[in-house]
Chains A and B, each alone.
Chain A
Amino acid sequence: MTTHTSPPDATGVITTPRGSKRRPASSAQAQPRKVAGIVALYGVLGILILLPVALVVLSAFTSETPRPGNISLSNFTLSNFGTVFGPGAMRAAGNSLLVGLGGSAVALLCGGFLAFVTARTNAPARKFLYFAGLVPMFLPSFVGALAWGLLGGPNAGLLNILARDLGFAPFMNIYTLPGLIVLLGIYYAPYAFLLIHASFSLMNPDLEESARVHGATPGQVLRRVTFPLATPAILGAAILIFTLTVENFPVAQMIGSAGGLDTLPTYIFRLMNSAPSRGNEAAAVAIALVLVVLIVTALQRRVISKRTFTTVSGKGLKPAKVDLGWFRVPALILGVLYFVITAVLPIGALLFVAMHDSPYVASVIGSIQAGNLNFNAFAEVLTNPTAHKATMNSLVVSISAAVIGTVIAFIVSYVVNRTRVPGRAGLGYISMIPLAVPAIVLGLGLLWTWLLIPLPVYGTLVVMVIAFTAAQMPQGFQGASAGILQIHQDLEDSAVMHGANRIRAIWRVTVPLLRVPLTSTFLLLLMLSMRELTVPLFLFTTDTRLLSIVIFDNYENGILQSSAATSVLYCVLIFLLAWLARRFGEERQRTS
């Protein structure tokens, strides 16, 4: 019944002459469409990300900033880099370095301490301490800076007024380098907290127990096994926080510049805002800043690739708790102190200033006793057309950017992770570039790009949407990729085998299965857009101001009451979004 191409007892290989070694004709057939698709994707990412970066580089080496009809490579110059080595930029660079190092140290100390206490000890109220570790995340850093500006100003700061009320001398000035370092440190501490907490709580208890069995005391176990195992997480967090603090613009501007301190981002901002604008020099300084970030990022990759300890047990085993002994209560007190500094005082200050009946506070205790507090400022903000417009702008821009960003991120991650189109890997690399480019530099590049491109988008909300989409490409790409990699390729191939074409298979199978991860990516992008201040800073006009920009502007112009009231409402909005995102995260864990 069966005839094989060879007798069953002999070998099944039919020795036919080998074909020539050319590429198959078959794949050439489907190729043009794939090539067109990938070229289009490169086009989109090129305009979104590469062109802005290229224009910054170009400006750094020429004497004119890019304008329509004026873009040439002929007037090449290195003179812009004179500014980089000038006294102003060198001082700013020095400050940046101090801020980066100091900020990371403070963040690691706070975050690492809370992580250890909550993950591995018997401290009381660990749930509260865990919450305290996360809280600063819900406060955009510039709102924290605004609040601490209100609290710690040398004369009118509420803490100093309170001290005077109580008969003490004014004791603090936040507008100093230490003030800036501590502020950045505590607002980036949640990153350290999360990374180190994960490392501590996922540690395989076998590793520690075997140290105990082999004769180590609990203290020795901590020193010789537990902490060394957590070093990759600690180092990773340190470097991440270093780059984040070095490139942070809002806090440096609101706290540092008020005290006459420049960091590299604020220096770039000042060069751009001087009259006449010194864009080419700003670009040169921007390049120096990017280089610093790139070097540190490269360092991070090396450190992390060299030392990956697989500590994840995957068995759901709970690591043992360390007995803190007499230190249990002090540990809790330190946590409460951190919570007061990062959350209670700032939010209290924002509420107090927003509700106080006049912009001038003579005595904190006096005002509270006299009942000089009301909700007029909130009513003012809620009825004020400028605030309305800014809120609408923020929502429209953030939602559009999040939708568009999620869609592009999904397409790019699909092509990178699921196809074999030549050149797909490059799309992934381009998507990750904004991570290494500080927001202020990207904003600069986006400004020049959309001045140059002959489309009537500059000065509209469209350019804001484009800017946010570009800036958040890395987070979108990572979120979508993580989702796609969780879904087995077979599920989609199976739909193709059963009669669906590829697009239909994606639409009927892959996209529905990715509903939860794509929704959380969308919410993440939405939240990031709502919080973003720096990227749109060069792009907004009076008609396209966002909530974050209104708060920043009012603060810079000394309209503190309105700024504080807007911030409070802004925080409520962001907290709602965060809550929504978290609920989705939980659902995601349940379903997977």
Chain B
Amino acid sequence: MTIKIENLTLSYGDSVAVRNLSLEIEQGEALVLLGQSGCGKTSTMRCIAGLETPDEGRISVDGEVLFDADRGVNRPSHKRNIGMVFQSYAIWPHMTVFENVAFPLRMKKLPKAEVARRVEEAITVVGLDGFAERGASMLSGGQMQRVALARSIVMEPSVMLLDEPLSNLDARLRHRLRTDLRELQHRLGLTAVYVTHDQEEALALADHIAMMQFGRIVQIGRPDEIYGRPLSASIADFLGVANIIPVRPLDARSVGFEGTDIGIQVEPYDDRAGELRACIRAEDILLGDDAPAESANTLEGEIVAREFLGATATFRVRIAPGVELDVFGTKQQANRTREGERVRVHLPVEAIQVLPTEAPELAEHVREGAA
């Protein structure tokens, strides 16, 4: 079941939620739409579901057109055969678990025996055996999520949409259900589209991640690619890169921190993209004795804050006025050092990425908007 979205645009009045978005999702693949709230990820999902009517574009599943603005095709939601797990789960509280799960089959007017059999199967698949006659308002959050899954699985949907499926659960449960969800998706070979704002959840669930900003996909790729090679400083920031420092180009292999004389060596970068940022993850920086003494990228700084986190510790090191680095260290380092001490830090060349503030297409759009 290949899902193909072409040039999708959705606006509410004057504000554009999704702009000219194209995307393809393969059979059996899990794609995560990742981005901050208001980036258009939920709107994109609701367009696939048919709960929003896009202004422009085309959506098809396996060559079958569900929506086409140019040809005036807009198949209603209930005829799309797309499963959806809502953020609130939307379990109907006035029905039992069985009735909730049986709903899609009853809408198709299937014979009673078949309904009973398939509901039983679906309930077993999600691990809720024995809960069939339980009233839906008596369920816990995790159980509700399972019912919502079963309800969509039972209809054998061409694709499953899951809107922030784990955000309503507490941390421990979230971790377990995330693994369950991934396992279930693989076992049943489901084509799935997730929406989330949580990068960890996205990395864990996805075959591919589509990073969204301002209604556009700004980067798409495998989780490790997205994590390792963000395309812009704002994506890096969203992905939890702790150090994003304004720099100016010096030559092809080095940059200088803005407002200082300090220069560091970096890998080749593109200096045509306007303002540049050096992006370095806190865990990639070497601290104290770990830092090689004689190296171009070894700097000296003063510890301004220390946070003991148990197994690890974080340090904030001031390299120059206005330039501070967040660095992960060990608990031993935390015990040995004090605020105000001077320490060495080393920035490995391969850990530094010099990136434009915004992705190229987005930068263009921002300029368009400003004009």
Contact = CB atoms under 8 A, between A and B. Distances in A.
A27 interface: yes
19 contacts: A4-B23, A9-B229, A11-B231, A11-B360, A12-B211, A12-B219, A13-B22, A24-B53, A27-B53, A488-B90, A490-B88, A491-B92, A493-B86, A494-B84, A497-B77, A497-B78, A497-B82, A499-B78, A509-B94
B56 A24 contact: yes
B49 A497 contact: yes
Given A504-B107, A512-B94, A11 B359 contact: yes
Contacts of B68: 26
A30 B208 contact: no
A24 to B, nearest CB: 4
Interface string B113-156: 00000000000000000000000000000000000100110010
A455 interface: no
Contacts of A24: 53-56, 69
Interface in B190-221: 207-208, 210-211, 216-221
Contacts, number: 152
Contacts of B307: none
Contacts of A14: 7, 22
A4 B51 contact: no
Q: In the complex, which of the residues A2, A12, A496 has the most CB atoms of chain B within 10 Å of its own CB atom?
A: A12
Which of under 10, 10 to 19, 20 to 34, or 35 or more describes the interface residues of B? Answer: 35 or more
Interface in A474-515: 488, 490-491, 493-502, 504-505, 508-509, 512-513
A418 B367 CA distance: 37
Contacts of A497: 49, 51, 77-78, 82-84, 152
Contacts of A512: 94
Interface stretch (A15-23, A270-278, A305-313, A457-465): A15-23
A382 B71 CA distance: 71
Interface of B: 6-7, 9, 20-24, 26, 29, 49, 51, 53-57, 67-74, 76-78, 81-84, 86-90, 92-94, 103-104, 107-108, 148, 151-152, 155, 207-208, 210-211, 216-222, 225, 229, 231, 359-361
B104 A513 contact: no
A1 interface: yes
Contacts of A26: 53-54, 67-69, 72-74
Given A491-B92, A494-B86, A13 B21 contact: yes
A379 interface: no
Top 9 closest pairs, chain A to chain B, by CB? A12-B220, A499-B107, A494-B90, A12-B217, A490-B90, A25-B72, A8-B221, A26-B74, A498-B104
A19 B7 contact: yes
Interface string A572-591: 00000000000000000000
Nearest to A25: B72
Interface of A: 1-6, 8-9, 11-16, 18-19, 23-30, 488, 490-491, 493-502, 504-505, 508-509, 512-513
B78 A500 contact: yes
A500 B107 contact: yes
A3 B221 contact: no
A3 B360 CA distance: 23
A13 B217 contact: yes
B83 to A, nearest CB: 7
Given A27-B53, A493-B51, A500 B103 contact: yes
A12 to B, nearest CB: 3
A9 B94 contact: no
Contact of A25 (B22, B71, B152): B71
Contacts of A2: 26, 29, 207-208
B20 A16 contact: yes
A584 B93 CA distance: 19
Contacts of A505: 78
A88 B221 CA distance: 83
Contact of A4 (B74, B94, B220, B360): B220
Nearest to B74: A26
A18 B19 CA distance: 10
Contacts of B57: 19
A39 B171 CA distance: 50
Nearest to B84: A497
Nearest to B12: A420
Nearest to A508: B103
B221 A16 contact: no
Contact of B22 (A5, A27, A501): A5
A157 to B, nearest CB: 56
Nearest to B27: A1
B220 A6 contact: yes
B51 A12 contact: no
A5 B94 contact: no
Nearest to B46: A493
B225 A8 contact: yes
A509 B222 contact: no
A496 B221 CA distance: 32
A488 B93 CA distance: 11
A76 B77 CA distance: 55
A14 B216 CA distance: 10
A15 B361 CA distance: 9
A423 to B, nearest CB: 15
A232 B87 CA distance: 37
Contacts of A5: 22-24
Contacts of A25: 69-72
Given A8-B220, A13-B216, A490-B90, A496 B77 contact: yes
A15 B108 CA distance: 41
B1 to A, nearest CB: 13
A191 B52 CA distance: 43
Contacts of A501: 76, 78
Contacts of B83: 497-498
A505 B56 CA distance: 27
B76 A23 contact: no
Given A2-B29, A15-B361, A498 B103 contact: yes
A3 B71 CA distance: 26
Nearest to B93: A513
A200 B222 CA distance: 57
A19 B57 CA distance: 9
B7 A16 contact: yes
Nearest to B211: A12
Contact of A8 (B72, B73, B107, B222): B222
Contacts of B72: 25-26, 28-29
Contact of A13 (B6, B29, B155, B361): B361
Nearest to B94: A512
A486 B94 CA distance: 15
Q: In the complex, which of the residues B89, B90, B151, B231 has the most CB atoms of chain A within 10 Å of its own CB atom?
A: B90
Contacts of B26: 1-3
Nearest to A6: B220
Given A25-B72, A26-B69, A493-B90, A9 B221 contact: yes
B86 A11 contact: no
Nearest to B109: A499
Given A2-B26, A497-B83, A491 B90 contact: yes
B151 A498 contact: yes
A16 B231 CA distance: 21
Contacts of B24: 3-5
A15 B7 CA distance: 9
Contacts of B211: 12
A505 B77 CA distance: 12
A488 B92 CA distance: 10
Nearest to A494: B90
A491 B92 CA distance: 6
Nearest to B87: A490
A11 B20 CA distance: 13
Contacts of B108: 499
A26 B90 CA distance: 28
B210 to A, nearest CB: 6
A18 B77 contact: no
Q: In the complex, which of the residues A2, A495, A509 has the most CB atoms of chain B within 10 Å of its own CB atom?
A: A2
A379 B231 CA distance: 90
Given A1-B26, A5-B22, A12 B104 contact: no
